[in-house]
Amino acid sequence: MLEIDKYQNRGLIWYGNKNDQLVGRVKTGFVTLDNALSGGLPPQGVMEIKTPMGIGELRLMLPYLKQKQTLGLLVFIGPPAMLDAEFLAANDIDLSKVLVISEYESERMLWVAEQCLKSGSCGAVLLWQKTLSIKQSRRLLLASEQGESSLLLYRIMTHQQEQTGVFSIPSNVSMTLAPAPEGITVNIDKQRGGRSFKGLSVDMRDIWPDLTTSPISTTNVVAFPKVAVH
């Protein structure tokens, strides 16, 4: 086997822009992000989201999930905190098509996610998982393609990982999130059919003004008066 074939089989080779990879993109609801993603997120496959916990990482994906729900169930596997049903409903998520599986044993979570993805009855699966091998991620990728579903793989980063970064796994899109006063800052570490981007500002103030803050204005800063010296 050629060396390049080994890397390709492990999902470690990324190809340049291909038109067939950009067909049917699903809008994220944020123009800045959609532009960087060549129109939106893929309609199926694995979306890796590396993020600190509690910065709005689920809010970022709500417009995408709303569209994916028209194709089947939304399955939340092992969320690190209780989901706010009222908040989901207020953002047009149909709770009758939401399934929450509170399972925290890693191997069982992966098995459940794989079964949901390839069942063909799920629009999207959200899985919280700290560590994942290339082999495991490859299985999830194949399952998502088989069931024509999406996996949003949340990898919660520690403070140290925020500083040093996290190794990305084989996926259709890999993003790293960071908090920002106006919403979230997104780094697109890699994407199939596109290039990487750093420091994308996703402004959420129009959608969730109560959960964001406006940048501090410097126009009302008054300098101290000069003291006369006699």
CATH of residue 166's domain is 3.40.50.300
Cα separation of 102 and 108, whole Å?
A: 11
Is 10 a domain residue? no
Is 2 a domain residue? no
Q: Which residue has the higher pLDDT, 8 or 121?
A: 121
The pLDDT score that the predictor gives to residue 11 is 45
The pLDDT score that the predictor gives to residue 222 is 52
Is 116 a domain residue? yes
Nearest to 182 by CA among 46, 65, 30, 75: 30
Q: How much is the pTM?
A: 0.81
pLDDT, tens digit, 9 for 90 and up, residues 167-198: 678 899 999 999 999 999 999 999 988 899 99
Domain of 136 in residue numbering reads as: 15-211
Is 226 a domain residue? no
The pLDDT score that the predictor gives to residue 17 is 44
The pLDDT score that the predictor gives to residue 208 is 83
Residue 9, CA distances (Å) to 13, 48, 119, 138, 171 in order: 9, 19, 24, 9, 13
pLDDT, tens digit, 9 for 90 and up, residues 96-149: 999 999 877 889 999 999 999 999 999 999 999 988 888 999 999 999 999 999
Report the SS3 class of residue 190: strand
Is 37 a domain residue? yes
Is 183 a domain residue? yes
Phi, psi of 8 (to 5 degrees): -65, -40
pLDDT, tens digit, 9 for 90 and up, residues 29-63: 999 999 999 999 999 999 999 999 999 999 999 99
Rounded to a whole number of angstroms, the distance between the first and last alpha carbons of the chain is 87
The pLDDT score that the predictor gives to residue 223 is 53
Q: What token pair was written down for 204? A: 């959420």
The pLDDT score that the predictor gives to residue 168 is 74
Which range (32-36, 65-69, 84-88, 214-218) has the least confidence? 214-218
- Counted domains in the chain: 1
The pLDDT score that the predictor gives to residue 49 is 96
Q: What token pair was written down for 156? A: 């919660």
Is 197 a domain residue? yes
Report the SS3 class of residue 230: coil
Is 57 a domain residue? yes
